[in-house]
Amino acid sequence: MSSSSQPAKPSLLILGARGFLGRSVATAAAARFNVLRADRTAGERSTDIVVDITDANVVEQTIREIQPKAVVLLAAISDIDLCERQPERAAAVNVQGVAHVARACAATGTRLLFTSSGAVFDGKKIGYCEEDPVSPLSVYGRSKADAENVVLETLPDAIVLRVSLVLGRTGLTTTNSVVDTLVRRWQAGEIVRASTLECRNPIDAATLATWIIELLPNPEARGLIHTGSTHAWTRYQIATALATRLGVPEVQLLPEETTSPARALRGVHQLLLTDKIARLCTTQPPTIEEVVERSLREPAESHQ
């Protein structure tokens, strides 16, 4: 069969495509989808779409005109401390903006996958499943919990992926990549402090992107789904593993054993149990050692 006679790929609209995870999803989706990248400002590609999710009219018009097979909604204010300082802005983007997208998808019959956070829990329990009641400590966590409700009330068949911590490299300075930030600071000779009090089960961006692409066409994938590695480490343990692999001198990483009152509250334990995604996906949850190793790989397309 010639390439001209092959069926066209279904379209996938990524909102927040220029962010850290958005770039990984775009790369993973390219073989299966016609990827349409959207963000709130113009990107480096002439084909990039400008969509501010806080503008309901723009969101509705974009989705109605494009008619994508699916939408992956990654756009958010993910800075927990910024959300605490600016709760109205957090609500406008993380809740109202999500509502605009959900309603537009409902009106067009479009599949929606939305990324949420383990911050919807208070961290007092070791190991959270999808059925556990939410109990956020921060403005950010509350905004994500409210957004989950909006999405699932509007689109009961939508996918809501909760993540504890995403690791990976982009090769850029414009994203919120934890690994890129650590590498940049260490290369500048800075001393980094990492919390011994916050436990997370991270996932590398490439594996998370693979899960997203596996879940979208799966009719059994719906509702809340937890992601992450098979077990959790403290942020200090995660940073230590990264530093060891990068050959960073021990003096450049110190344990942070107290919590600053200036920071938004974070839960101590944020282990998201991954039994459900293990049932739904061929790709199985990795160990935390595998996540750390994968997160240090050079990005496939750092220019994206």
Structure confidence by residue, pLDDT tens digits, 196-238: 999 999 999 999 999 999 999 999 999 999 999 999 999 999 9
Give CA–CA dist 9/35, Å, rounded: 9
Integer Cα distance of 107 and 60 in angstroms: 9
pLDDT surpassing 70 at residue 259: yes
The pLDDT assigned to 297 comes to 85
Strand duo 199-200 + 233-234: pairing: antiparallel
Tokens of 283: 């790709």
Q: Provide the pLDDT for residue 304.
A: 43
Two structure tokens written together for 224: 């809340």
> Domains, the chain, ranges and CATH?
9-295 (3.40.50.720)
Residue 245, pLDDT score: 94
Please, what is the average pLDDT of the chain? Answer: 92
Examine the pLDDT at 174 and tell me if it is beyond 80.
no
- DSSP for 2-68, please give it: -GGGSPPPPEEEEETTTSHHHHHHHHHHTTTSEEEEEESS--SSTT-EE--TT-HHHHHHHHHHH--
* Listed residue (83, 170, 68, 123) closest to 267, CA to CA: 123
